[in-house]
Chain A
Amino acid sequence: MLLVSALVLLACTWRPGIAARPASEPPAFDAALVQQGARVAALGLCANCHTARPGAPFAGGFKVATPFGAVYSTNITPDRATGIGTWTQAAFVRAMRDGVARDGSHLYPAFPYDHYTRLAPADIDALYAFMMTRTAIHAPAHANDLIFPLGFRPLLAGWKLLFLDHAPVPVNTAQTVEWNRGAYIAASMGHCAACHSPRNALGAVDRKDFLGGGEAEGWYVPALNGKSPSPVAWNRDSLTAYLRSGIAPAHAMAGGPMQAVTASLGAADPADVRALATYIVSLMGKPAPAIEQRALDAAHRPVALAAAPGGTDAAARQLQLGQRVYADACARCHASGRTPGSGGALQLPAAIAVYDPDPRSLIRIVRDGIAPGPAEPGRWMPGFAGILTSEQISALAAYLRHSAARQAPWNDLEKRVAAAEKDDRQ
């Protein structure tokens, strides 16, 4: 009986293969459709995960670390042997909407089809036209490295039953056409929630806390809803500039995984990015007026950070060490109380990372710095991993939390600093 039930369950997970597109019938696409597909691909950040080497765009091999192990992106160039050259349009649509490969196997949701379910059919068709007209590259898939028993793909059918939502993004008639365009981009191709929302124990995006803050590659990913930690209110212009260039002057510099996002959005249609910004800004709450005023004051007229408190207890001594590290290693550019340097480094009372609910992003920025990618606008902070010890980085973060943000201390600071150091050793 058990065996029968198991077999029935397994049968429910079965998906048919779709016949290969014959090599004798090369697909032909209208140039305008390909161009529309390029817009979708830029907003969808496809290249970010599907490109591991700049010389081999869309050939896959990029490692996506998850709590369940590592998944490697696959080759989505039209190579017939190792890419999607044999995929018909129907097979491509099924992969995007249902997370099933042409051969019928279930795909892991590291490929964010749980967002692409909401793509309009016309956008999927355009994306197919774009992908099938890329240069074919021979690049076999890298084997995944997942914890037991997740290598068994039929399990994914259950995950999908629980978490896939095929309903189109609802239109809010009280809002403008631009706002609705932004809402559609954010929820579907943009898959913002993949990083900016928390996930549940099964790794699915928590829909009850949409854009309520998440994580990616060891960074805290800021909330974009009412819980946004930004000390300065974003507006449509500042967020559009940030999303297109990675820079919002005097407010934010994209770092870490967000850099690849802004690089891709810089190549997207500016009107689409503006729509996205319009929508996101409408979700974010307003910072407390006192915090915003202080941040704006600091951003435009450097003010000295408050001194660490006196005293000889461990907490006070840590803040005093942090103040010395800040003065000796950071102040020459971050310039509180000094004339802003030519690099225009952020004034830290205006920097978002010191207001985050946990210190992961601040630690990553201190350790890694920020370097512009190829052809990106210049913004530069050197990494201080190796220069500062873990004790010094913890103290610096504690001091910035105390004196730049004036927020309650992070209580997991040392643990987070040690974790970042361990990640870098691996």
Chain B
Amino acid sequence: MSQISLTINGRAHSVDTDPDTPLLYVLRDDLHLNGAKFGCGLGQCGACTVIVGGNAVLSCLIPVSTIGTRPVTTIEGLGTAARPGVVQQAFIDEQAAQCGYCIAGMIMRAEALLQHDPAPADDVIRSQMALNLCRCGTHMRILRAVRRASDKLKGRA
């Protein structure tokens, strides 16, 4: 066990854990940030996606020891139920969730994409979102939600 410092959603945290512990376990089990979901645990489904240092990252794969000073953002950092973030609101407006298990990961990957490129082409949205799976099959609504969020963000720029 070792003491590991993390900056999550702008707040400093210190956890006592094994250095190879995946970030996802620390988020859920130690910090009770349950937005990121455990899907496959193998980096194949995207349900655990969070943003680390500006990149969409599979939190089931990233050992806490490798994060260092890079800031971590989870879906809890984007907004609240009362005041959702732009991407969250777009997903609500498009009713993009069915069971919802994949949606936190989808939103985080979309958020990272739009931070880098607020106006991505449709094929860029598709290729970037391809890593995240939805077993209910709401992909078309999810793509529309990303497009809607992009239109909103472009309007602001």
Contact = CB atoms under 8 A, between A and B. Distances in A.
Interface of A: 324-325, 327-329, 331-332, 343, 369, 380, 382, 384-389, 392
A112 B19 CA distance: 50
Contacts of B110: none
Enumerate the 9 nearest inter-chain pairs by beta-carbon distance, A residue then B residue, closest first.
Answer: A382-B43, A386-B55, A328-B63, A328-B20, A387-B62, A328-B65, A386-B57, A329-B63, A328-B19
Interface string B54-75: 0111100111011010100000
A329 B20 contact: yes
B115 interface: no
A44 B62 CA distance: 40
B119 to A, nearest CB: 17
Contacts of A385: 55
Contact of A387 (B19, B42, B57, B68): B57
Interface in B66-107: 66, 68, 70
Nearest to B43: A382
Contacts of A386: 52-53, 55-57
A329 B67 CA distance: 11
A382 B63 CA distance: 14
Contacts of A331: 20
A328 B20 CA distance: 4
B44 interface: yes
A364 B65 CA distance: 22
Greatest chain B CB density within 10 A among A325, A331, A382, A392 is at A382
B59 to A, nearest CB: 9
Contacts of A380: 42, 44
Given A382-B43, A387-B58, A392 B20 contact: no
Instruction: State the main secondary structure of chain A at its contact with B.
Output: mixed
B128 to A, nearest CB: 12
Contacts of A327: 19-20
27 contacts: A324-B19, A324-B65, A325-B66, A327-B19, A328-B63, A329-B61, A329-B62, A329-B63, A331-B20, A380-B42, A380-B44, A382-B58, A382-B61, A384-B61, A386-B52, A386-B56, A387-B55, A387-B57, A387-B58, A387-B61, A387-B62, A387-B66, A388-B66, A389-B53, A389-B68, A389-B70, A392-B66
B27 to A, nearest CB: 15
Contacts of A382: 42-44, 58, 61
Contacts of B63: 328-329
Contacts of B61: 329, 382, 384, 387
A391 to B, nearest CB: 9
B42 A328 contact: no
A380 B43 CA distance: 9
B52 A387 contact: yes
Q: Which of the listed residues A380, A385, A387 has the most CB atoms from chain B within 10 Å of its own CB?
A: A387
A308 B65 CA distance: 18
A118 to B, nearest CB: 38
B47 to A, nearest CB: 14
Contacts of B20: 327-329, 331-332
A331 B19 CA distance: 12
Interface in B31-56: 42-44, 52-53, 55-56
A327 B61 CA distance: 13
